[in-house]
């Protein structure tokens, strides 16, 4: 998992509430359990004018020019801002994988669906909850200037706009530690690899039938 310290970049506006996980990555793409390769199909039904499927080349599909992530510079954004209840719907972890593979490192919204919120931290994507009024202010700044940039400073737990405005955010201490150090659940377990091996060797001696 990539470490997250300070990220600066263009923030893409998704000015709609209740963006569900089926919109983020439609069900037909859930057959794969790899964590990569989902970026080209993130927001698939909004991004393309033609129906998509895993065996269809995206290069042959017509792009929806009205969708924000198809417009420059937002097609290269690494921060997304949305409205309330982002990530609602089913619990598919693929939604986070798709956002990560698109290139997003942080999502800002007034609120997130619980499962999506938890899945984000486990995959190196930082979900930031800011007051709806603050989110409105940032949307207004983006509307006034295309390519508006912000900085997400996880170390100091604040969002800083290019105008110098600072907005603090809360994050659980353990989750912050994991993001700062790039530790997912597997990496956390491997920190105890020596103890695990020692336990296995001891168990082989006391209960050898478990290993036959």
Q: Does 160 have pLDDT greater than 90? A: yes
Share of the chain above pLDDT 90, in %: 81
| ∠ CA 36-38-39, rounded to 5° | 105
Any idea which architecture 6-181 has in CATH?
Alpha-Beta Barrel (3.20)
Domain extents in the chain: 6-181, 184-212
Band of residue 136 on the pLDDT scale cut at 50, 70, 90? very high
pLDDT given at position 155: 97
Q: Does 188 have pLDDT greater than 80? A: no
Band of residue 34 on the pLDDT scale cut at 50, 70, 90? confident
- What does pTM read for this prediction? 0.90
The CB-based long-range contact list for 137-140 (8 Å cut-off, 24+ gap) reads 137/165, 138/11, 138/81, 138/108, 139/13, 139/15, 139/81
Show Cβ contacts of residue 116 under 8 Å, excluding neighbours closer than 6 positions. Answer: 21, 86, 87, 88, 91, 95, 96, 127
């Amino acid at each position: 998992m990539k470490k997250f310290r300070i990220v600066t970049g263009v923030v893409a506006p998704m000015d709609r509430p209740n963006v569900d996980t089926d919109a983020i990555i439609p069900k037909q793409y859930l057959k794969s359990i790899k964590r990569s390769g989902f970026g080209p199909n993130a927001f698939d039904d909004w991004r393309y004018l033609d129906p998509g499927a895993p065996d269809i080349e995206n290069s042959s599909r017509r792009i929806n020019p009205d969708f924000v992530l198809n417009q420059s510079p937002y097609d290269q954004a690494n921060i997304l801002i949305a409205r309330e209840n982002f990530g609602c719907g089913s619990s598919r972890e693929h939604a986070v994988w798709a956002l990560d593979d698109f290139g997003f490192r942080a999502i800002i919204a007034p609120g997130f669906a619980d499962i999506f919120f938890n899945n984000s931290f486990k995959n190196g994507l930082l979900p930031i909850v800011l007051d709806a009024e603050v989110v409105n202010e940032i949307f207004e700044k983006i509307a006034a200037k295309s390519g508006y940039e912000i900085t997400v400073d996880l170390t100091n737990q604040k969002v800083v706009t290019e105008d110098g405005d600072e907005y603090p955010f809360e994050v659980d201490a353990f989750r912050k530690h994991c993001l700062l150090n790039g530790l997912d659940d597997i990496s956390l377990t491997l920190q105890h690899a020596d103890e695990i091996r020692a336990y296995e060797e001891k168990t082989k001696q006391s209960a050898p039938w478990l290993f036959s």
